[in-house]
Structure 1
Amino acid sequence: MMKIKILKNKDELNNLAPLEITHLLWGTKSIPRTYFYIGFIPEDGFYVRMVCEEKDPLRTYTEDFDPVYRDSAMEAFFQFIPEQEVYLNFEVNANGALLAAYGPSRVYRSYFSKEDMAMFQCRTEIEEDRWTASIRIPLSVLEHIYGALSFKAGDTISCNFYKISETKDVEHYAAYAPILSSTPSFHLPEYFASAILE
């Protein structure tokens, strides 16, 4: 089971061991090394940092809600109350363009407001041999979706993390937790991994 550390501040994210995205899907032969860190700060929210060791990533799109999955993108999907069908998707390219939505299925998605998007504090950094994306998921936004929340040690959520590009020249698909579907889709919460707060 994935472990999500309870942190005192977001700088402690730097001390965590990385979790790797290694399950290659739907004919993908290889991806750039991709890994992520996740932590939870009580009464604040969840913090995610994803890293892809990729030189000059494809980054065409520049605006939030653009189809960044056609670029080189890293993605994080969460079902914060596993008993409820609603899950959230966060998809980001190296330009920091963020596609984020929530709902019970791939088709019926609700998009976040501009105010919510600003609260996610999505930031990216491009270095010579890698790029990094950081996202904050505040409890205040989650409570608009799920109602009152009080996460504590021992609680579980479900989630999955992905590396994707749908552009033919560099097309690839990979996940943290395997997806046992013949049809390409990351919108399959039944394959999310269980994660425990500790």
Structure 2
Amino acid sequence: MGLGTVTVAFMTERYTLPYRPETEELSEEDWSRIPPLAIDRQQWLFPDHPPKTEVRAYYDNAFIRLRFRVFEESPTIRHLADHAPVYEDSCVEFFLQPLPGEDARYLNFELNAAGALLLEIGGEGEKRRKVDADRGEFAIRSAVGLSDPASGRTYWELALRIPFAFLRRWYPDFRPDPDVVMRGNFYKCGDRTPVPHYLSWNPVSSERPNFHLLDNFGELVLSSAGKEEGDLGSRDV
């Protein structure tokens, strides 16, 4: 299996993050009602059975909340310290540009199945700066060896929250108002896993492995309908 290229029509996915007024994290039942995003576009390497990966996301008055689910029976975990190259392990990633059109910088949150975090900020093509942050404010939780009752398949899960207060420290002009459009992408990778793979939510047009391309970010919208009606979100291309 070697590196390959794939031609995709230029497209931008768009996802509306539902709003929930609760100050505590949603129950399992309410989480299950949020439409998942499939991180299923294979990039550069094309194994026959890449790990099925999905993410659910919503926001409340204080946080963007994310929950990844990865159907990977034996996730590779080599790195346990923050700032380590967790992308070599079984890894999920969220790249976020809070102020597209105003600030070219974006944050990359990269986490392995143990919850080790690589967090950086910078612009495309720039040397990226590692961000030292209190792990507690992200409330990172991971669990491996879980079983899906519907299919019987084994998966691991990674949950975190991103405080709006944290985003405003790096982007003082950012306001999490309804209908605000951010940009970003979700990824699943494993550079040094038994079956290396690269998966994305929004397609990536690079001929070589590179997730750091702003033009390949999708749109992430903070729902206004959710604030008014308790709506649980929508997805469209």
TM-score (norm 2): 0.78
Q: Return the offset for 1:169.
A: 3.0
SS in structure 1 of the partner of residue 18 of structure 2: strand
SS in structure 1 of the partner of residue 174 of structure 2: coil
Q: In the aligned structure 2, how far is the partner of 1:91 from the partner of 1:17?
A: 22
User: Per-residue displacement from partner, 1:149-182 (whole Å, max 9, x unpaired)?
Assistant: 3222211111100010111632100100000110
* Count of paired positions: 196
Give 2:84's aligned residue: 66
SS in structure 1 of the partner of residue 167 of structure 2: helix
Contact 2:115 2:141 in 1 (8 A): yes
Contact 1:123 1:133 in 2 (8 A): yes
1:185 aligns with 2:210: yes
SS in structure 2 of the partner of residue 127 of structure 1: strand
Give 1:75's aligned residue: 93
Q: In the aligned structure 1, how far is the partner of 2:219 from the partner of 2:41?
A: 16
In structure 2, do the counterparts of structure 1 residues 31 and 106 end up closer, same or farther at CA, with 3 Å as the change threshold?
A: farther
Give 1:39's aligned residue: 58
User: Per-residue displacement from partner, 1:20-53 (whole Å, max 9, x unpaired)?
Assistant: 01110003234111000111112x1211111101
Q: In the aligned structure 2, how far is the partner of 1:92 from the partner of 1:192?
A: 19
1:145 aligns with 2:163: no
Larger Rg: 2
Give 1:105's aligned residue: 124
- Give the unaligned 5+ runs of structure 1: none
SS in structure 1 of the partner of residue 194 of structure 2: helix
Give 1:17's aligned residue: 35
Q: In the aligned structure 1, how far is the partner of 2:122 from the partner of 2:32?
A: 31
Q: In the aligned structure 1, how far is the partner of 2:139 from the partner of 2:189?
A: 22
Q: Which moved more, 1:171-180 or 1:29-38?
A: 29-38
What is the root-mean-square deviation of aligned Cα atoms in Å? 1.5
Q: Return the offset for 1:148.
A: 3.8
TM-score (norm 1): 0.93
SS in structure 2 of the partner of residue 61 of structure 1: coil
User: Per-residue displacement from partner, 1:73-123 (whole Å, max 9, x unpaired)?
Assistant: 0111111111111101111111111111111135422222242x3311211
Q: In the aligned structure 1, how far is the partner of 2:93 from the partner of 2:177?
A: 25
Between the aligned residues of both structures, percent identity stands at 28
